[in-house]
Structure 1
Amino acid sequence: MQTLGTVTGTELKRAIEGRDGAALASFYADDAVMRVIDRNNPPSLPHEIKGRGAISTFWKDICGRTMTHRVDVTIADGGQMAFTEACTYPDGAKVFSISMLRLENGRIADQTVVQAWDE
């Protein structure tokens, strides 16, 4: 069983860049919600992932892909955090995202991701 972690910018960066889906999942509250907004999921109908179990499956998929992840900027202010992430697939295709997090008791309670990728 994965020990639950307290999310910090440093730990988040380490987990994302290390493609450690289990560590990433450990940062979420049991009832956390992640919303993904992109070309296929517009703001009026974002893709919602609810609960740490489903979010864990999401991160396992993302971290299982052969690609590099780089967290460039992390900003924290009390119960909020934001970060940017740049990813590159082996064929050179790029993905860029920005995430806004709401934290409760050291865990991610709510996350909104806005992402764009090369097409």
Structure 2
Amino acid sequence: MITKTKPVTGAAIKRAIETRDGQALAGFYADHAVTRIVDRNNPPSRPREIKGRAAIAAFWGDICGRAMTHRVDTTLADGDRVAFTQACVYPDGAKVFCIALLELKDGLIVDQTIVQAWDE
């Protein structure tokens, strides 16, 4: 069961991502939140959109369930906005890098944009 957590902070995001806690991550989102992903497979003209906390929870469950390490290097906060960079490494050495921008309302994420790239 997903429950809302304390308001989102850079430290809370870092802790949840680095410990691969998908349930904690899902709890940071408002019920009607939207996450947009831009990458090689989802270009700016057709970004992937994940709508609603349940769908976002499934997304994080998949990401956190993968055998890989996650490191949040930079976190910036300004009012109701949080941005962070994330570097990931799979066991075979393949790397993923992403930058994310979060918009908050009442301490929960209502909008997120992720831009990511990976080794091929």
Shorter-chain TM-score tier? over 0.9
Report the TM-score, using the length of structure 2 for normalisation: 0.98
Q: Distance in 2 between matches of 1:108 and 1:7?
A: 7
Provide, for residues 34-82 of structure 1, a one-character-per-residue CA deviation record: whole Å limited to 9, x for no partner. 0000000000100000000000000000000000000000000001010
Report the TM-score, using the length of structure 1 for normalisation: 0.98
Once the 2 structures are TM-superposed, how far is the Cα of residue 2 of structure 1 from its aligned partner?
Answer: 3.2
Residue segments in structure 1 that go unaligned for 5+ positions in a row: none
Name the counterpart of 1:3. Answer: 3
Residues matched between the structures, number = 119
Q: Distance in 1 between matches of 2:54 and 2:102?
A: 18
SS state of the match for residue 15, structure 1? helix
Q: Distance in 1 between matches of 2:29 and 2:2?
A: 12
CA RMSD of superposed structures (Å): 0.6
Q: Distance in 2 between matches of 1:2 and 1:56?
A: 8
Provide, for residues 6-57 of structure 1, a one-character-per-residue CA deviation record: whole Å limited to 9, x for no partner. 1111110000000000000000000000000000000010000000000000
